[in-house]
Amino acid sequence: MNSLTRGLMAGVALLGAPVAVAAQNAPENLLPDDPAPVQQQKVEAEKPVTMAAEPVVQAVDPMVQPWQVADAQALVAVIKDIGSEGLDPADYGLAALQQALAAGPGPALDAAASQSFAWLVEDLRDGRTPMSARVQWFVVDPDPDLMPTGKVMADALASHDIAGSLAALNPTNPDYARLRGELAKTSAGDTARRKLIRANMDRWRWLPRDLGKQYLMTNVPEYQLRLTVNDKIIRTYKTIVGKPGKTATPQLAEEVEGVIFNPTWTVPQSIVKGEGLGAKVLANPGWAQRAGYKAVKGANGYVSVVQQPGPGNSLGLMKLDMPNEHAIFLHDTPSRGLFGADVRALSHGCVRTERASELGLTLSILQAGIAPEDGVAIIKSGKYTRVGFTEKMPVYITYFTMGTDIGGKMTSFKDIYGRDAPVLASFDKPRQANRARKTDEKVVEIVDDLQD
């Protein structure tokens, strides 16, 4: 542990936040409580409704705005060159815009230019791929709220910098620029590679343009996790991700609220009841104690089983506290030998992380101001301990099949879940208007994350 402490002290900038450590008793019983009776809320008597004319609110930034000829000409130039961003000029009404431009300023030019500009904004800001082609993509991009189309258009027309205003929508992550550079130097004849580059450029647009000053990002097909602070990758970790099929890891953007050292593992009922673990624990107390299991049987026959902290715990020695409806999180594993495999799609959905104790300790330093030696002592204690963050930290579970690897080389990664095909197919179809911002796919229930 001393070498771990020294390694963390070197290269991690401490933020000086107050320590927020809570040593808690490990939860042992998750018996469902009897449902409490629903309390009917009191409803006030309805007041008489006074009919009054609603005030008419004029939109500050309407979707059709007046265009000058020079600005429309600049928009034409952007559309003609939009292929450099991995998009298709044919998607943005170029012929109609040029026809309106030839007729001079007026309502026709305003409508055509506003429409073309709006389509460009939507695709550069949000991505061109419709939600139906984003398999198991549960990220809701905040950018349309932060950069509304009408506001972007109004600012562009006020500044007369059409190209600059659109370029400002591009993702800020350096890997997007790397992919754009790769597209520029890939020959037109290599259509398969160009399509793959375009698809992965678009995946960056599906995410928030600004990912934050400190964040975790794991790329599922690469089996790698990156910790980024102030735009610099300060740590990388191998990962084990979900097996293809029902236990494939979904793509998420969540927030980490803290680190749990020496976690417990609440065994799913699919194992407690379905595989008979509950009965085995109750019938064999000696074996259960050695295995670290505790069981409680309720009056209604419901059995809950919790695996206590310890080296054999299925979650290992660390779990990131990142509440989400998918029950997906990053955690340690006692089966650390699996990190030596080249193909690591082995879990039941969660992301197992190499050197997880180091990761948890690093985050505790950055996000809770804990001293390294105190963190080491917590890990050694073997007690369930939650270190709460002073600020939540973004974590992105992504799916890029081409990008910069941890060695800095542009690399293609095996499409382990077959998620490229629908994205690539969508680029061969006409642009889809009025796309949904949120997927209607169902959350896949991850029933367990047992060690293999």
**In DSSP terms, which residues pair with 330 in a beta bridge?**
351
DSSP 396: E
DSSP 251: B
Pairing relation of β-strands 293-297 and 318-321?
A: unpaired
Categorize the per-residue pLDDT at 446 as very low, low, confident or very high, splitting at 50, 70 and 90.
Answer: low
Query: Backbone phi, then psi, for 447, in 5-degree steps?
Result: -80, -25
Q: Are 263 and 331 a contacting pair, CB within 8 Å?
A: yes
Q: Quick one: 252 exposed, middle or buried, by C-beta within 10 A (0-12, 13-18, 19+)? A: buried
Q: Which residue has the higher pLDDT, 452 or 417?
A: 417
**Which three-class secondary structure state does DSSP give residue 260?**
strand
Given a cut of 90, whether residue 258 has pLDDT beyond it is: yes
pLDDT tens string 148-175? 999 999 999 999 999 999 999 999 999 9
Pairing relation of β-strands 351-353 and 330-331?
A: parallel
pLDDT of residue 29: 37
Instruction: Give the span between the Cα atoms of 184 and 197, in whole angstroms.
Output: 10
pLDDT of residue 267: 87
Q: Are 130 and 432 a contacting pair, CB within 8 Å?
A: yes
Q: Which helix (H) or strand (E) holds 109?
A: helix 107-126
Given a cut of 70, whether residue 421 has pLDDT beyond it is: yes
DSSP secondary structure of 136-179: TB-----HHHHS-HHHHHHHHHHHT-HHHHHHTTS--SHHHHHH
* pTM, full prediction: 0.84
Summarize the confidence of residues 302-329 as an average pLDDT. Answer: 93
Q: What sign results for the dihedral spanned by CA atoms 443, 447, 450, 452?
A: negative
List the CATH code of the domain at 2-24+213-264+309-398.
2.40.440.10
Q: Are 195 and 427 a contacting pair, CB within 8 Å?
A: yes
Given a cut of 90, whether residue 338 has pLDDT beyond it is: yes
Given a cut of 70, whether residue 6 has pLDDT beyond it is: no
Q: What residue segments make up the domains of the chain, in order of their start?
A: 2-24+213-264+309-398, 69-104+106-208
pLDDT tens string 192-248? 999 999 999 999 999 999 999 999 999 999 999 999 998 899 999 999 999 999 899
Q: Which of 4-18, 300-314, 345-359, 421-435 has the lowest mean pLDDT?
A: 4-18
Q: What residues contact 269, with CB distance under 8 A and at least 6 apart?
A: none
What stretches of 312-384 adopt beta strand conformation (E)? Answer: 318-321, 330-331, 345-347, 351-353
Given a cut of 50, whether residue 256 has pLDDT beyond it is: yes
pLDDT of residue 399: 98
pLDDT tens string 100-120? 999 999 999 999 999 999 999
Given a cut of 80, whether residue 1 has pLDDT beyond it is: no
